[in-house]
Each structure stands twice: as C-alpha cells, then as structure tokens.
Amino acid sequence: MRGNLVGPRVLLRRLREVMAEPIGAQARLDKIVTLIAANMVAEVCSVYVLRADGILELFATEGLNRSAVHKTILRVSEGLVGQIAQSAEPLNLPDARAHPAFAYRPETGEEIYHSFLGVPVLRAGRTLGVLVVQNRARKTYSEEEEEALQTVAMVIAEMVASGELHHVGSTPTPLDLARPMQLAGTVLSEGIGLGYVVLHEPRVVVTNLIAEDTERELARLREAIAKLRLSVDDMLQRGEVAHHGEHRDVLEAYRMFAYDRGWVRRMEEAVLRSGLTAEGAVERVQSDTRARMMRQTDPYLRERLHDFDDLTFRLLRELVGKPKADHGALPVRDAIIVARNMGAAELLDYDRERVRGLVLEEGGPTSHVTIIARALGIAAVGQVADAVTHAETGDAIIVDGEAGRVQLRPPQDLQRAYGEKVRFRARRQARYRRLRNSPSVTRDGTRIDLYLNAGLMFDVPHLDETGAAGIGLFRTELQFLVADRLPNLGTQTAFYASVLEAAGERPVTFRTLDIGSDKVLPYFRPVEEENPAMGWRAVRIGLDRPALLRMQLRALLRGGAGRDVRIMFPFVTEVKEFDAAKALVDKELAHLRRHGREPPSSVKLGVMVEVPALLFQLDALFGRVDFASVGSNDLFQFLFAADRGSLAVTSRFDPLCTGFLRALKLIADKAAEYDVPLTLCGELAGRTTGALALIALGYRALSMSPAGIGPVKAMIRALDAGRLREEVLPLLDDDAADIPGRLAAFAEANGVPL
C-alpha cells in the first residue's frame, strides 16, 4: 500500500477544499473520511469524537455500517479506540482482533477487517477523539501512512475545536471540549464575575498546515529556533532576571528544551516527512509531547509542562512575527481574562469597564496584579491549574472570588444560580452605599475611623463612594511598577499633587517606595538574594541609595505645597533607620526653603510596624514618630516564619490566634501610652471578624480595600465596643482559646452582622 499512498500534501489540499464548502458538519465529516480512505487505499476510515461524559461516539465512517454512526460508543480505555484515547498514542496492528483490548461491536460490521491503524485527535495535548483506518489484509501500516494519518488528525482537531460538531448526532450530550468544568484555586480578589473567556496570550492559530516548499519551511524553522535560543541565552545573562532564583530555574528549563536535539529533530521530520509548514510542525510536536507529559505521574515532569508550553508559544510567535494581543480592545463586554500570569501594568491596559474577572494559573494574594484587581473591584482567582489549557476564547465562565473556584462552561442552572448571587451582592452593596455618609461609631459611642488602601489615581474616587475618612495607606511603588522607566521628579510631583487635590480635606498617608522582595521594578537592578522578602528592600534601599529616596521625598513635599503631608517609611527595623530617613526629609525641606518654594503646611512622619524587632523598641519609636501603622501582613509573616506567598503554610496559622493578638495589643497599648495615632492597614482590617478583634484590642483606625468599608462599617454601627472588650480580652490569657469561634458567637448573640 506504500506505493499507492498519494501523500499528505495532496490529501491536505483536498481536505482544505472540503472545509471551505458551504455544507453541514455531518456532510463535511462524511466527505473527510471518504477522502482519507481513498487517499490511503483503506477499506475503512472512521472518526470517533470524545463526548463530555467520557464516551467516544462514532461520528462518521467510510466502510463500516452507516447505521452505526452516532450509535456505536466506547468508554475511554475500552477497546482499541478507547485505549488510543487514554494513552494519546497511535496503535498500529496487523490483526486487530488478536489484540486483548479488542472490543467487538456487531452493529459496525468490522469483524471482517484485520489490519488497524488508529491515531489520537489531539489539540494542545488534549484528546478530542480518535481517527482510524482498517483493511481486510493482515499487514502493518508504514511509518509514512502513520505520519499521514496523524497530520490529517490535526485538521479534524480544529474542526472539533471550532464547535462545528457540537450539535451533530442524535445525543444531546455535548462534546468533551464543551464539557463543564470546576477548577479550584485561591481567592485573590473577592467578588463574583460572570462573562466570557479572553485569553491574555491568545493562542497562535496555525491556519496553513501544508508546505509548498519543504526546504524553505525547514530553513524558517531552523532560523526561528536559532532566534529562540539567542533570546533565552540573553535573558539568562541579563541581571534583572538572573537575580531571582525561581526565574532562573524557569529559564534554565527553557534552555534545556530549546537545546534538546530530540525536540528539534521531531519538528524537522514533521516538515520533511509530513509536508507540514514550520508552524504546523511545531504545533504537531507540541501536541504529541504535551499529551505524553500530561499523562506522567512524576510531579517534576508535570511541572516542566508549563515551561515546555511557554517555549513552544515563543517559537510559534517567532515564526508568525510575534503578534501582540490588543489588550485595550476587548471582543466582549463581560470579559474574564485568563492567563498563566501577568503584570499589574498589563491588567491596566484592558478596558476596565468590560473586565469582570481574572483567572491566573500562578499569582498569589500579595502579587501586584492582585492589588490592582482589588483596586478595580475585579473578582480574581489564582493558582488555577491548567486554566489556559482548558479554556477557549469565548467560553462562558464564572469567577467565584468568594470560594476560590472557577466554573468553566457552566450549565444554565448554575449560571442562573450565580446570577442570583450577583444580584444579591448588588443589593447588599447598595445597602452599604447608603451607609457611606453615616458616622462610623459603635452603639456605645466609640468612633472607629475607616480609611482606604490605595496606590493609583483610580483608587481615589472610592473615597466618595465609600465615605472613607481618608487614605490610610497610599502605596507609592505602584506608580513605579506600572511605568516602563523611572518616573522623574516632575512626573512624581504632579502625581502626588493630583492625589492630594482629589482627596480634598481628607488625609492621605503616603508610604515611600516599598520595592524589593516580590516588587521588582523592570528598570531597577536589585541584588541577587536567597530570601528577598527579608533582604534589601523598602527603606533599606532608600537609605543605601539616598538619591532615589530624596527624589521621592522632594516630589512629595513639592506636591504637598500648602497642604498637610503625611509620609510613612516601610520596613523600619531599628529606630535609627527612622532617624536617618527623617534627616533626609529635613534636608529636603531646607532645600525647598532655599529655592523659595512653598512648603507643606505641615509634615507628619511615621513608620510601618511590620518587623518584629520593633516590638522591643516601641518606647523609643513612639517617642519620635508622629503616627504609626501596623502592616499586619508582613508582621504576621515574620512572627510566624510563614512566607505569605507559600500556599503550603499560609493557611497553617491563623492571624486571630492568641500569640499574634497579644503582639497587636502590645503595639496598641504603647501607642495609647504615648498618644501616637495608630492605624492597622493589613488584610485583617478589611474582614469583619478581624476588625471585630482589632476593635477589642484598642485599635480605633483601620485601613482596608474599598470593598471592606461597607461591611466593616455596618458591623461597627451594630456593636457595643465595651461589651466586646469584656468578652475578648480575657481570652488572650488562654493559649487554647478559639477566638474566631468566640467572636462569631458574640456577634450572633448581639446582632452584629459579620
């Protein structure tokens, strides 16, 4: 039969003509199997498509009984077809009936056929079906025939992926590609988003599979591989990437794949033997390799799958000219962005009026993109395994930022249930908005000031929307993170002035640059560190590179001309660091006066209490500062030696345990003793139960995300703070006390909404 094989190029051309015909999906599929059978001189050609219920259904055949179409079914792993679907590898047999996995289906009439060649229909490593040819004669199909069938399967995969076959057949069961899926993840930003998938990095769609000139395609492939290798080598040599151990590990994996001779050889063979274009060869080899890696049990190999995918996408972009997605123009009004990961600036590129949610395969609760998502009020879930692989552009999707789940292609009843949940949240938010002008005072007359955490200009309007007392934490580093170069003095000055102008009479506390750790500026080269969260960051960088800090201080003081300016220094570990930072402020104030510029009407200086060492310097500290803020996220992280970016330990310890609450009470008591205004601005403040505990400890100012203001204010207005303290403070002496449980019981007994 080898001599009779017309060749995949001719077959692919004919298939392309069939794909362009204005006919129904079933008629198209019938023509395709007839073409394949004729081209390969096969007596049988059949296509099985995987349904959402895990069943392989015969969708078309040439040679078997036509009455079996849409009636013959096999489970994955059942029969030869099921075995191919399970293993995602071809099966080439001279006598199919002698194979122990052979499953007899009398309605097909296939008992007279012996030789059998079946290949999986793959797309991005995911099995969509099985393509089979059969003959009466006992023989083993040639390598050329197997290659040809695998190439044709790529065309059928695109037909399945297009959705054309979703309504073909007698069964209402959807295809596997349309199967509803629930994906688990981690809550990054609360809320619920309903919409349609928009892939942040759209898949490179290979439209031309057939090579007109194989030598030219081979040259294109080799040129793209050479450019890819150069780019990976360049990234490894650049300091801004090399300093991060984790980033370097990823790039080393890239280099391992890029220089893998077996990978390159398989792509070259796909061009020379199958007549594929360079892009078609890359996609073919990626799909085959991905299918094998997805079925590995070795966790290391499965982790390398993303590295391999990313490298392949880079190679495809080299071949097609590196197309860039237009992130500003979204194709749908209710867009859910799905990505492996992304930067804060990339999220801001999108039309935020249309973005309803964000799904990340990576991303943690403290990443920059998470901070932006919260500021925008976008529901976000991270650590969602294989989200990009499972999602197709245009799929219906729900982001549950309360439970940390993603519903992909949800059924109608689930969509209706979530729609009602969204309407309920909207009614609840409307009630909170009605409270924005009501005082934040407990029933027994205790005033609790509620402030916003902010970082960009679009955060400032939330002051009016929520009725917040001011901005308790303005993260100035976000302006630097979303810029492609260091903002100059004029840019910074104008920015700080506009923030103060927008805030009006309400106070704004500017935190100086907290870079380092996980906040790496693209244009700033930090040092290589094993543990950057506890290394050269924040005020340590500012004091070691005073020109950077002094420029920011000069901009803050100029921008605050004639106004009250509050400046807070992050990550202060010793009192002498505050003294040094204060000395720089004094120099900049003197500089203003020398040059005849109007100074601020007042300048107040404070610190973030987030390093445990400060707990033993509170007397000296509170004797110097004008105010202080507790950064509960970092303070908790360092007190418990629990990296807040590690999913393995973030849920291991509870911020409402007695140990941490004692530390927080110590700070509150010392601040009261020295009459120093104190705010807590970590995530604990924006949760009603956490805020309840903080009020019991003596905190009278809390700063949080905009979404937390309404629920916390409603809780405060129903609270008797005196009774709360009587209930909670004795619990601090009991190491075994269930404080969250006791707080919940107190709230229920006293009608306090949580």
- Residue 379 — pLDDT band, cuts 50, 70, 90? very high
Full-model pTM: 0.68
End-to-end alpha-carbon separation of the chain, Å?
Answer: 75
Angle, in degrees to the nearest 10, between helices 706-717 and 412-434: 60
| Cβ atoms of residues 339 and 391 within 8 Å | no
268 is a domain residue: yes
Q: Which of 452-484 are b and which e, b meaning 16 or more Cβ less than 10 Å from the residue's Cβ?
A: bbbbbeebbebbeebbbbbbbbbbbbbbbbbee
Query: How distant is the alpha carbon of residue 422 from its chain centre?
Result: 22
pLDDT tens string 328-338: 567 778 999 99
- Rounded distance between C-alpha atoms, residue 266 and residue 249, angstroms: 25
Report the DSSP pairing between strands 564-569 and 602-609: parallel
Q: Please state, in angstroms and as integers, the Cα–Cα distance from residue 125 to each residue in 89, 430, 614, 706, following that order.
A: 11, 46, 53, 42
Average pLDDT estimate for 116-144: 90
Residue 511 has pLDDT above 90, yes or no: yes
Q: CA 547 from chain center: how many Å?
A: 35
Give residue 109's domain range. 2-178
Residue 510 within a domain: yes
pLDDT at 433: 85
* Claim to verify: residue 20 and residue 90 sit in the same structural domain: yes
Is the pLDDT score of 626 beyond 50? Answer: yes
- Cα–Cα nearest to 135, from 42, 64, 66: 42
Residue 209 domain flag: no
Residues in the chain: 754
Residue 326 has pLDDT above 60, yes or no: no
Q: How much is the pLDDT for 646?
A: 66
pLDDT tens-digit readout, 666-710: 999 999 999 999 999 988 999 999 999 999 999 999 999 888 899
Q: How far is CA 628 from CA 425, 605, 702, in A?
A: 34, 9, 12
What CATH number did the domain enclosing 517 receive? 3.20.20.60
Predicted pLDDT of residue 729: 96
In angstroms, rounded to a whole number, what is the distance separating the alpha carbons of residues 422 and 124?
A: 34
Rounded to an integer, the average pLDDT of 92-113 is 90
Q: Residue 445 pLDDT more than 80?
A: yes
Q: How far is CA 67 from CA 71, 81, 106, 107, 171, in A?
A: 8, 19, 11, 8, 15
Choose the weakest-confidence range: 335-339, 355-359, 452-456: 452-456
Same domain for 679 and 571? yes
Q: Are residues 241 and 356 in the same domain?
A: no
Query: What is the rounded distance in angstroms from the CA atom of residue 280 to the CA atom of residue 286?
Result: 10
Q: What is the dihedral angle through the alpha carbons of 178, 184, 188, 194, rounded to the nearest 10 degrees?
A: 30
What is the distance between the alpha carbons of residues 253 and 194, in angstroms, rounded to a whole number? 36
Pick from 296, 307, 286: nearest CA to 87: 296
Residue 562 and residue 580: Cα distance in Å, rounded? 25
pLDDT band at 2 (very low <50, low <70, confident <90, very high): very low
277, 210 Cβ separation under 8 angstroms: yes
Tokens of 72: 């013959």
Whether the CB-CB separation of 445 and 722 falls below 8 Å is answered with no
Query: Are 356 and 336 spatial neighbours (Cβ–Cβ below 8 Å)?
Result: yes
Edge-to-edge strands, sheet with 355-360: 181-184, 405-408, 396-400, 192-199, 335-339, 355-360, 379-382, 186-189
Mean pLDDT across 389-416: 90
pLDDT digits (tens, 9 = 90+) for 200-255: 877 777 767 777 788 999 999 999 989 888 877 776 665 444 444 445 555 666 67
pLDDT at 568: 98
* Residue 9, H or E segment: helix 8-20
Predicted pLDDT at 242: 43
Angle at 437 (CA atoms; ends 431, 443), nearest 5 degrees: 80
| Cα distances (angstroms) measured from residue 612 to each of 573, 615, 638 | 8, 6, 7
**298 against 478, higher pLDDT:** 478
The reply to whether 549 and 688 lie within a common domain is yes
Other CB atoms within 10 Å distance of the CB of residue 43: 17
Contact present, 373 and 483 (Cβ < 8 Å): no
pLDDT digits (tens, 9 = 90+) for 518-567: 566 656 666 666 676 787 888 998 999 899 999 999 999 999 999 999 99
Rg (CA), the chain: 31
Q: Which of 343, 390, 336 is nearest to 362 (CA)?
A: 343
* Nearest by Cα to 703 from 568, 587, 613: 568
Q: What is the CATH number of the domain that holds 280?
A: 1.10.274.10
Q: Name the residue among 193, 197, 190, 195 with its Cα closest to residue 401.
A: 190
What is the spatial distance between Cα 618 and Cα 269, in angstroms, rounded to a whole number?
70
pLDDT of residue 641: 87
* % of the chain beyond a pLDDT of 70: 88
Give the integer Cα–Cα distance in Å for 742 and 338: 40
241 and 286 assigned to the same domain: yes
| 614 in the same domain as 468 | yes
For residue 706, which amino acid is it?
Answer: P
Rounded to whole angstroms, the Cα distance separating 568 from 609 reads 10
Domain identity same for 119 and 104: yes
Q: Is 608 inside any structural domain?
A: yes
47 strand-pairing partners? 60, 131
Alpha-carbon gap, residue 16 to 159, rounded angstroms: 11
The upper half-sphere exposure of residue 496, i.e. CA atoms within 13 Å in the direction of its Cβ, equals 33
Name every residue whose Cβ is closer than 8 Å to that of residue 753 and which is 6 or more positions away in sequence: 688, 711, 714, 715, 718, 747
Q: Note whether 118 and 192 are same-domain residues.
A: no
Pairing of strands 379-382, 192-199: unpaired
pLDDT at 745: 95
| Average pLDDT rounded to a whole number, residues 474-490 | 84
Mean pLDDT estimate for the chain: 86
Tell me, rounded to whole angstroms, the distance of Cα 717 from its chain centroid: 37
From 288, 320, 352, the end of a domain falls on 320
Is 624 strand, coil or helix?
Answer: coil
**Beta-carbon contacts of residue 501 (< 8 Å; ≥ 6 apart):** none
Same domain, 162 and 192: no
Whole-angstrom CA distances from 231 to 225, 236, 245, 316, 419 are 10, 9, 19, 14, 46
| Least confidently predicted of 91-100, 312-321, 515-524, 620-629 | 515-524
Helices marked H in 88-213: 143-161
Q: Are the CB atoms for 407 and 681 separated by under 8 Å?
A: no
Q: How many CB atoms lie within 10 A of CB 359?
A: 27
The pLDDT assigned to 163 comes to 75
Q: Is residue 216 classed as helix, strand or coil in its secondary structure?
A: helix
Residue 173 has pLDDT above 50, yes or no: yes
Number of domain units in the chain: 4
Domain CATH for 127: 3.30.450.40
- The yes-or-no verdict on residue 257 having pLDDT over 80 is no
Same domain, 20 and 109: yes
665 membership: H or E segment, kind and range: helix 658-673
Q: Which amino acid is at 514?
A: D
Write the CATH number for 374.
3.50.30.10
pLDDT band at 635 (very low <50, low <70, confident <90, very high): very high
Q: How far apart are CA 647 and CA 186, in angstroms?
A: 9
Tens digit of each residue's pLDDT (9 = 90 or more) over 34-81: 999 998 889 999 999 998 888 999 999 999 999 999 999 999 989 999
Domain boundary, last residue among 267, 287, 320:
320
Q: Would residue 61 count as lying in a domain?
A: yes
Nearest partner of 508 among 455, 438, 554, judged by Cα? 455
Composition of the chain by helix, strand, coil, percent to 5? 50, 15, 35
Q: How far is CA 579 from CA 494, 509, 569, 571, 607, in A?
A: 28, 19, 11, 14, 11
Label residue 629 by pLDDT band (50, 70, 90): very high
Which positions ≥6 away from 14 have C-beta within 8 Å?
35, 39
- Is 207 domain-assigned? no
Q: Using the 3D structure, point to which of 421, 455, 482 is the last residue of a domain.
A: 421
pLDDT of 310 reads: 74
The C-alpha atoms of residue 102 and residue 115 are separated, in whole angstroms, by: 12
Q: Determine contact, residues 368/519, Cβ cutoff 8 Å.
A: yes
The answer on 407 and 260 residing in a single domain is: no
Residue 427 counted as domain residue: no
- 298/345 same-domain check: no
**pLDDT-based confidence at 361, cuts 50/70/90?**
confident
State the amino acid at position 107 in one-letter form: E
CA quadruple 691, 692, 697, 699: dihedral sign: positive
Cβ 64 vs Cβ 70: under 8 Å: no
Residue 576 belongs to a domain: yes
Backbone angles phi, psi at 29, to 5 degrees: -65, -40
